Amino acid sequence: MNIIEIKNLSRTYGDEVKTYALINASFSIQKGEFVAIMGPSGSGKSTLMHVLGLLDRATSGTYLFENRDVSTLNDNELAVLRNEEIGFVFQAFNLLPRTTVFKNVALPLIYARDKSEGNKRVRDILEKVNLSHRLGYLTNQISGGEKQRVAIARALINNPSVVFADEPTGNLDSKSGVQVIEILQKLNDEGHTIILVTHETETAECADRVINIVDGKIVSDKRVKSKKRVSANDLIK
Ligand code: ADP
């Protein structure tokens, strides 16, 4: 089943002077795929991620998310769909500082009815990203790699079908970066669709498929022949 299907999707910025950030992009992504989006700086990767992640709308073309034409949804409906179905991980972590790891992850549950169920879920997810020992730490007391794992936990709290990760290893040392990719691969094994924006070839090879974008145009879309499985344990020698 296609979770994402776009056809001739374009996004331009500005009125008088137009920037063509995304030009006639067409592809589909199946449920359960791990896709890397690659391209140089300014090529349109963030624009594509924002449109696919329902944070922004295309200027023209069609976008079906789980077979629903998103152009027919109003802003409120779009926000509900995004909160229920999509999780985001950013290069800069975007966590609340001076707030505990636990609270950062619990934040999207603010409207949840059953608090004790929610608290259990936060603990389970923090265990999944190997952070059970950091629940009560403030986010400015933990390492960059740990911060990114908190951000992944927060992205997972509503059990989204798709996780978008925008250069998630960009601010990390190589070992922490491998740990983040290892977690994304595990989440993918569990059935989450993963869309990873990166400019590193090595990171892209950890996906099933690599879509290359240059100057707003999709220039290639290829399956990875031998997907690289990573394990942070391999680095601890
Ligand atoms: P990437 O993520 O690959 O670095 P972007 O999607 O950020 O690329 O940018 C693609 C193009 O769109 C660039 O030329 C950039 O300057 C332009 N752009 C991005 N966001 C805006 C904006 N909000 N207003 C005007 N131009 C923008």
Pick the atom of ligand 1 nearest to 46's CA. 2
Confirm whether 105 is domain-assigned.
yes
CA distance 187 to 89: 13
R_g of the chain, CA atoms, integer Å: 18
CA of 214 to the centre of ligand 1 (A): 12
Q: Which domain holds residue 207?
A: 32-56+83-223
Would you say residue 62 lies in a domain? no
CATH number, domain of 158, equals 3.40.50.300
Residues 6 or more apart whose Cβ sits within 8 Å of residue 104: 95, 96, 139, 150, 154
Query: For atom 7 of ligand 1, which residue has the closest CA?
Result: 46
**pLDDT confidence of residue 40:** 92
Does residue 26 lie within any of the structural domains? no
How far apart, in whole angstroms, are the C-alpha atoms of residue 61 and residue 84? Answer: 24
pLDDT of residue 237: 43
Looking at residue 144, its amino acid is G
Structural domain count of the chain: 1
Whether the Cβ atoms of residue 176 and residue 148 lie closer than 8 Å to each other = yes
Collapsing DSSP to helix, strand or coil, 2 comes out as strand
> Block means of pLDDT (10 residues each) for the chain, length 237 residues?
97 96 98 97 95 97 98 96 95 94 91 80 96 96 96 95 96 94 96 95 95 98 92 67
